[in-house]
């Protein structure tokens, strides 16, 4: 996905108040994301389409929002796979549709294209666009849109570069960040996916927050994630300085995976420096994904 996509992720369970809870979303997390948290469904079979490089599938279905049928997309080893951050972003974006029915949507950092595809299905009359720094991701998103029978305009480029001169009613930012060096130590990145979100994990999200108002229509909304494995307070402050209103709408806590637990002394140092925040919930150390909706002036 665009730049550093450290989409953090637990599997089909969350930890709230120290108690493990089943999520109400059916999806298959990538095994390298958080191998110590079980998925709700078994692995999906590789695609059988001849001549493709796609290796497996991802199935999205949010039961909390009343979904009865899943949306299935192909994945690829060199494209960041959707995670629970993606699921939370979609939940927030779909809830925001109750206030405003956008006629134009941008999935920024689209990866497989799942966000754009789901929103295109929910908003059949909207113009839905998607972009990613990775040309492989853009090709995969285009493929997935076609296999799901929806029209998605896909472009390759860094952040908002492919959309100069355009404005959208709704932008969903699927570009999150994890402080370096935790990004590589976590095991969350496929080798082809770049990191470089900076020593506090905020590099890309701050850039998006600074630029997004210029790409939103008046009253338009930006849905974006913040991980507590970055300097979350800095992101929240920047968002409030750039938008008329900012509201946190989703929050989910996850236990540290095995790779991060091995780095606990480093995490403690980063916590003391204010670069990350982890909490002891029950017997486990945990981190969180938060999702915000920001409204343009």
**Using one digit for the tens of pLDDT, what is the confidence trace for 110-161?**
999 999 999 999 999 999 999 999 999 999 999 999 999 999 999 999 999 9
**285 near 279, Cβ under 8 Å?**
yes
* Spatial separation of the C-alpha atoms in residues 32 and 191, rounded to whole Å: 12
Classify each residue of 178-215 as buried b or exposed e, where b means 16 or more C-beta atoms within 10 Å of its C-beta: bbbebbebbbbbeeebebebbebbbbbbbbbbeebbeb
Q: Residue 37's closest CA among 51, 27, 48?
A: 27
Helix axes 232-242, 203-211, angle to 10 degrees: 10
Mean pLDDT of 11-17: 37
Which percentage of the chain shows pLDDT scores above 90? 69
Could you give the 3-state DSSP secondary structure of residue 193? coil
pTM, entire model: 0.83
* pLDDT tens, position by position, 74-103: 999 889 889 889 999 999 999 999 888 999
Residue 245, strand partner residues: 295
The answer on pLDDT for 29 being more than 50 is no
Average pLDDT rounded to a whole number, residues 276-284: 95
Angstrom distance (rounded) from CA 239 to CA 164? 21
Positive or negative, the CA dihedral 20, 25, 107, 80 is positive
Rounded distance between C-alpha atoms, residue 133 and residue 193, angstroms: 10
Interacting residues of 163 by C-beta distance below 8 A, sequence separation 6+: 106, 129, 131, 155, 215
């Amino acid at each position: 996905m665009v730049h550093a996509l450290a989409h953090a992720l637990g599997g089909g369970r969350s930890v709230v108040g120290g108690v493990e809870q089943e999520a109400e979303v059916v999806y298959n997390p990538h095994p390298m994301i958080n191998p110590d948290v079980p998925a709700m469904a078994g692995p999906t079979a590789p695609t059988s389409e001849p001549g493709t490089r796609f290796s497996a599938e991802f199935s999205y279905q949010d039961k909390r929002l009343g979904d009865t049928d899943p949306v299935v997309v192909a994945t690829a080893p060199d494209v960041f796979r959707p995670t629970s951050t993606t699921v939370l972003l979609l939940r927030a974006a779909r809830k925001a549709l109750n206030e405003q029915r956008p006629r134009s949507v941008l999935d920024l950092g689209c990866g497989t294209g799942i966000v754009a595809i789901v929103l295109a299905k929910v908003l059949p009359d909207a113009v839905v666009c998607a972009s990613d720094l990775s040309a492989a991701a853009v090709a995969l998103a285009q493929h997935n849109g076609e296999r799901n029978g929806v029209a998605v305009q896909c472009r390759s480029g860094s952040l908002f570069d492919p959309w100069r001169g355009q404005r959208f009613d709704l932008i969903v930012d699927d570009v999150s960040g994890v402080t370096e060096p935790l990004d590589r130590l976590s095991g969350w990145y496929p080798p082809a996916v770049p990191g470089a979100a900076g020593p506090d994990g905020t590099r890309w999200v701050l850039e998006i927050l600074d630029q997004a108002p210029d790409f939103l229509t008046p009253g338009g909304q930006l849905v974006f994630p913040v991980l507590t494995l970055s300097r979350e307070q800095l992101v929240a402050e920047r968002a409030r300085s750039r938008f008329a209103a900012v509201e946190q709408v989703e929050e989910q806590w996850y236990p540290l995976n095995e790779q991060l637990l091995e780095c606990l002394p480093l995490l403690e140092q980063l916590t003391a420096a204010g670069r990350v925040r982890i909490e002891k919930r029950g017997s486990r150390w945990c981190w969180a994904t938060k999702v915000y909706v920001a409204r343009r002036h």
